Amino acid sequence: MATATLTPKTLTMADMKGKVDPDWCPGCGDFGVLAALQKALVELQIPTHNIVTISGIGCSSNLPGYINTYGMHTLHGRALAVATGVKQANHELTVIVTGGDGDGFGIGGNHFVHTMRRNVDLLYIVMDNQIYGLTTGQTSPTSRVGMKTKSMPFGNIEAPINPITMALAAGATFIARGFSGEQKHLTELIKHGIEHKGFSFIDVFSPCVTYNHDNTYQWFRPRVKKLEDDAGYDATDWTAAMERSVLWGEEIPIGKFFERTDLPSLHAAEPVLNDGALVHRDLRLPPEVTRGFIEELM
């Protein structure tokens, strides 16, 4: 008797479209990031039911609703903590976290550092527009000194953080920077970040066309230079990556700054998970206990 074999469906861009349309301002850089992420997942052909997209709060953090994967829209600055729990419960999933510079480097800065040092196997994409966009234009952790904003109308007096140097210092094992105006390049960075076994961080220049009139597409285009175009650059050299990370001015590097593959991810280092994902295993708890716990959470 013949047995029918099901052929996996080939994913297309149409399959990645979420149930709602983005409500970002026309021209927002986040449109480019969303398209690059969708294209990367299509090119990698990862089944949508094996992907979880998690976010915090902010304009960019609305992204899980705009892509056809499982998703969670969590608390401000807490997306990485939730994502760590998801990955530890089912490390067979592809976990992608999206957010902005305020969400990730401000209120979420603590989780950012500790998720990197733990080397949790996920991809963190930060849409860095150097402003708080959702709350209509306040100074963010990456706003330049002197930038006039709603919260600092006479000019920002606080030095901005450098997300790339922070990631290098905290121990992230894949570190890159993209620009939403270079979508093909960004798509490749996202693909590499997803395939990397460990914490992958991509800081993306994603211009806010409504509230940040300093860091515009026109400002970035002549300045961004791809590290991949430098034949002498070695992305396994941590010191070289740190030296490039501080460049800012007429030349701003984008691309893969650093990658190391010799450090196990958090779930790979945990012996309890050697027998498979927790979600598929018998927890050896009485049914009434688990049922009561779930009912309490619901």
* Closest C-alpha among 208, 240, 269, 185 to residue 30: 208
* pTM for this entry: 0.93
Locate the DSSP E strands across the chain: 51-55, 70-73, 94-100, 122-128, 174-179, 199-205, 224-226, 252-259
Tracing tokens 């899980």 back to the chain, one arrives at: 64
| Cα separation, 108 vs 100, whole angstroms | 10
Work out the average pLDDT over 52-57: 97
pLDDT tens column, 133-143 = 999 999 999 99
**Domain 13-297 in this protein, CATH class:** alpha beta
Calculate helix-pair angle for 79-89, 109-118, nearest 10 degrees: 30
Q: Which residues contact 145 (CB under 8 A, 6 or more apart)?
A: 155, 156, 157, 158, 159, 160
Work out the average pLDDT over 28-44: 98
| Cα separation, 136 vs 149, whole angstroms | 9
Compute the mean pLDDT over every residue in the chain, rounded to the nearest whole number.
94
> What residues pair up with 258 in beta bridges, in sequence order?
175
Lowest mean pLDDT among 73-87, 102-116, 208-222, 265-279: 265-279
**How far does Cα 6 stand from its chain's mean position?**
33
Residue 163: predicted pLDDT: 98
Q: Greater confidence, 277 or 284?
A: 277
Look up residue 7 and give its DSSP letter: P
| Cα separation, 124 vs 291, whole angstroms | 33
> Is residue 78 within 8 Å of 61, Cβ to Cβ?
no
| Cα separation, 47 vs 150, whole angstroms | 43
> What residues pair up with 168 in beta bridges, in sequence order?
none
Question: What's phi and psi for 123, nearest 5 deg?
Answer: -110, 125
DSSP reduced 3-state for 127: strand
| Cα separation, 223 vs 281, whole angstroms | 51
Residue 4: predicted pLDDT: 52
pLDDT tens column, 209-232 = 999 999 999 999 999 999 999 999
> What residues pair up with 128 in beta bridges, in sequence order?
205
Question: At residue 1, does pLDDT exceed 70?
Answer: no
> What is the DSSP annotation of 67-103?
BSSEEEE--TT-HHHHHHHHHHH-TTSEEEEEEEHII
Tokens representing 119? 């080397």
Q: Give the start-to-end residue ranges of the domains of the chain.
A: 13-297
Tokens representing 117? 């040092």
| Percent share of the chain, pLDDT over 70 | 97
